[in-house]
């Protein structure tokens, strides 16, 4: 039982069978101390853990969605079915993801991946960025194909899930062949795919679908093309739990500690007070880069200033730039650019083009987006996680093991305590064996003491192997005597009938001979005479 439960737990956690077997070897003290090999572990996983039929797999997937809905009514899912009731499209998002969208749904990355299940369904993930700059999962989908109608259904479904609130920015990858085929069309829509036309939008640090791809790489560590749907959603739960834990740890680390400022700038101090540690480190990197830049005002007219910026890249090498910017809005725009810039602070903050890039984003929004002081509702919601459906014996075993660990840890402190526990174990074992011996044999179950657990424990009767139907009925001694007498009477009557038939035949034949040979005389035997005479 202990080995089976360890294998099952490790499989659900995504631990490879080879690692599981090696842990058994280490605990036992060597390969020779085990009575099974690694192949037995793999066979058990294939036969008992992953053995889900196609029909049962779809049913278990539907039951999983219903269980999650029962746990939290804000769990969302929708299915599109074929005529034969097979799954064509599926989308789901847990309550925590829906709540997180309120804060991190401004920019979304969507991408698809393959070879994650035995049905070749295409998997798609909706990924956002939280206030620490970490990826957060905001929904998942399974699609039978990548046709336009499938994506249309999926995006409309996702929009309903998020209560009709569309993201401000949406990043997705395009098929290379489609891109070449539609190149001239693409040019007309350059404002939605050429980076220079998108710089005035806020993208939360994302420029591609790399966030979604990294989420898929996490899944691919634990699932294969032979994985069932129920295995897939278990790993989905693990991914949600992992992302939730990382965010909680980052939140906990932001409050008790403070990262010292690198300069005496009041702007840097403002970011230090408001922003999370991760985003403040990015700001500091830009302030350090500012120290390598020397600026000189060369012209000023009509509210616009022209600066010459020299960036020192080595002891004797300088890069020179001429920057024109609006001096009135410079300080405000600078605060916005600190989050999105990719190079030196002055080079971007002083350029007129940089001001246009952030014209649609307010400084207050930027500060709240990365703030560590905002109380976000999703942090109080637990991500969806399906409880393992264990049989009663497995549940009892897990509970006993959990309690015994604390007892064993306490008793291991000294030989005296260990001896007390050993004596207690011996006494308990004697008591349990005595109770088991009393209950051995038949037992009864009535409406008075029956419960769900006792009913679930009922087993079908074993099939009894027989030798076939007996040819004769097994009767008593009297039955055998009666049968023998009856048999003798039937034999005697049958013999008399045969003799009578033989006499008739001889008499019939004798008439033929009487016509030819007159010398011989035949007589018919008497009724009581059993002999035949001539």
Confidence (pLDDT) at 91: 95
Q: What percent of the chain has pLDDT over 90?
A: 14
Of 117, 71, 144, the residue nearest 383 (C-alpha): 71
CA R_g for the chain: 44
Beta pairing, strands 169-172 & 107-113: parallel
Q: Which of these, 431, 434, 411, lies nearest to 421 by C-alpha position?
A: 411
Residue 203 CB neighbours (<10 A):
18
- 150, 149, 141, 89: which is closest to 112 by C-alpha? 141
Question: Does residue 32 carry a pLDDT above 80?
Answer: yes
Average pLDDT over residues 101-124: 85
Is residue 370 packed enough to be buried (19+ CB in 10 Å), middle (13-18) or exposed (0-12)? buried
CA atoms of 367 and 206, how far apart (whole Å):
17
- Which of the pair, 270 or 192, is modelled with greater confidence? 270
Q: Would you state the pLDDT for residue 92? A: 94
Contact predicate 233/62, CB 8 Å: no
Average pLDDT of 337-344?
A: 34
The whole-number pLDDT of residue 320 equals: 85
Query: What is residue 494's predicted lDDT score, i.e. its pLDDT?
Result: 62
Q: Give bridge partners of residue 78 from the DSSP assignment.
A: 91
Confidence at residue 505, expressed as pLDDT on a 0 to 100 scale = 43
Residue 518 has pLDDT above 70, yes or no: no
pLDDT higher at 175 or 81 = 81
pLDDT digits (tens, 9 = 90+) for 274-305: 889 998 898 888 888 777 788 888 888 877 88
Q: Is the pLDDT at 366 greater than 60, yes or no?
A: yes
Q: For residue 148, what pLDDT band results from cuts at 50, 70 and 90?
A: confident
Full-model pTM: 0.61
**If you average pLDDT over residues 173-201, what whole number do you get?**
58
Q: With a cut of 60, say whether residue 330 has pLDDT above it.
A: no
Is residue 338's pLDDT more than 80?
A: no
Per-residue model confidence (pLDDT) at position 269: 87
Percent of the chain with pLDDT over 70: 68
pLDDT of residue 183: 52
Name the band, by pLDDT with cuts 50, 70 and 90, for residue 138. Answer: very high
Q: How long is the chain?
A: 534
- Encoded tokens for 514: 């009487």
Residue 355, pLDDT score: 30
Neighbours of 76 (CB within 10 A): 23
pLDDT at 357 over 70: no
Sequence-ordered alpha helix ranges (H) in 199-276: 210-220, 229-254, 266-274
Q: What is the pLDDT of residues 79-104, one digit of tens each?
A: 999 888 888 999 999 999 999 999 99
- What is the residue-averaged pLDDT of the chain? 75
pLDDT reported for residue 189: 61
- What pLDDT is attached to residue 324? 82
Query: How much is the pLDDT for 60?
Result: 85
Highest mean pLDDT among 165-174, 176-185, 334-343, 483-492: 165-174
Model confidence at 130, in pLDDT bands (50, 70, 90)?
Answer: very high
Beta strands 293-301 and 122-129, pairing class: unpaired
When pLDDT is averaged across residues 3-31 and rounded to a whole number, the result is: 86
Give the residue-averaged pLDDT of 243-254: 90
pLDDT (tens digit per residue) in 69-79:
988 899 999 99
On whether the CB atoms of residues 128 and 109 are closer than 8 A, the answer is yes
């Amino acid at each position: 039982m202990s080995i089976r439960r360890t294998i099952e737990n490790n499989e659900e956690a995504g631990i490879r069978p080879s690692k599981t077997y090696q842990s058994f070897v280490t605990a036992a003290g060597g390969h020779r101390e085990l009575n099974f090999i690694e192949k037995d572990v793999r066979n058990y996983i294939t036969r008992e853990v992953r053995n889900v039929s196609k029909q049962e797999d779809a049913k278990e997937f539907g039951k999983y969605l219903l269980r999650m809905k029962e746990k939290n009514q804000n769990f969302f899912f929708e299915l599109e079915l074929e005529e034969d009731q097979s799954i064509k499209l599926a989308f789901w998002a847990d309550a925590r993801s829906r709540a997180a969208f309120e804060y991190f749904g401004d920019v979304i990355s969507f991408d698809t991946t393959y070879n994650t299940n035995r049905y070749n369904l295409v998997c798609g993930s909706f990924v956002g960025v939280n206030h620490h700059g970490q990826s957060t999962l905001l929904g998942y989908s399974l699609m039978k194909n990548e046709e336009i109608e499938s994506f249309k259904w999926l995006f409309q479904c996702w929009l309903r899930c998020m209560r009709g609130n569309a993201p401000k920015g949406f990043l997705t990858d395009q098929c290379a062949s489609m891109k070449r085929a539609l190149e001239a069309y693409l040019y007309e829509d350059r404002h939605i795919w050429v980076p220079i036309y998108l710089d005035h939008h806020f993208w939360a640090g994302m420029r591609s679908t790399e966030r979604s791809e990294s989420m898929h790489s996490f899944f691919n560590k634990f699932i294969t093309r032979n994985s069932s749907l129920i295995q897939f959603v278990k790993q989905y739960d693990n991914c949600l739990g992992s992302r939730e834990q990382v965010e909680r740890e980052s939140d906990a680390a932001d409050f008790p500690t403070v990262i010292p400022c690198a300069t005496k700038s009041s702007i840097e101090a403002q970011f230090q007070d408001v922003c999370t540690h991760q985003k403040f480190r990015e700001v500091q990197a830009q302030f350090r880069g500012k120290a390598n830049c020397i600026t000189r005002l060369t012209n000023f007219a009509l509210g616009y200033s022209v600066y010459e910026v020299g960036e020192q890249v080595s002891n004797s090498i300088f890069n020179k730039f001429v920057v024109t910017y609006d001096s009135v809005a410079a300080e405000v725009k600078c605060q916005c650019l600190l989050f999105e810039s990719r190079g030196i602070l002055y080079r971007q903050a002083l350029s007129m083009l940089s001001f246009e890039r952030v014209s649609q984003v307010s400084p207050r929004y930027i500060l709240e987006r990365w703030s560590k002081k905002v109380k976000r509702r999703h942090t109080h919601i637990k991500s969806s996680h399906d409880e393992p459906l264990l049989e009663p014996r497995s549940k009892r075993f897990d509970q006993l093991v959990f309690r015994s660990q604390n007892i064993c840890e306490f008793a291991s402190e000294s030989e005296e305590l260990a001896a007390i526990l050993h004596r207690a174990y011996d006494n308990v074992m004697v008591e349990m064996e005595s109770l088991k011996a009393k209950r051995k044999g038949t037992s009864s179950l009535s409406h008075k003491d029956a419960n769900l657990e006792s009913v679930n424990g009922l087993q079908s009767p074993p099939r009894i192997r027989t030798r076939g139907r007996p040819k004769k009925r097994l009767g008593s001694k009297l039955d055998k005597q009666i049968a023998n007498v009856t048999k003798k009477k039937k034999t005697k009557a049958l013999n008399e009938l045969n003799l009578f038939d033989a006499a008739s035949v001889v008499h019939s034949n004798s008439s033929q001979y009487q016509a030819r040979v007159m010398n011989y005389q035949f007589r018919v035997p008497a009724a009581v005479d059993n002999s035949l005479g001539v």
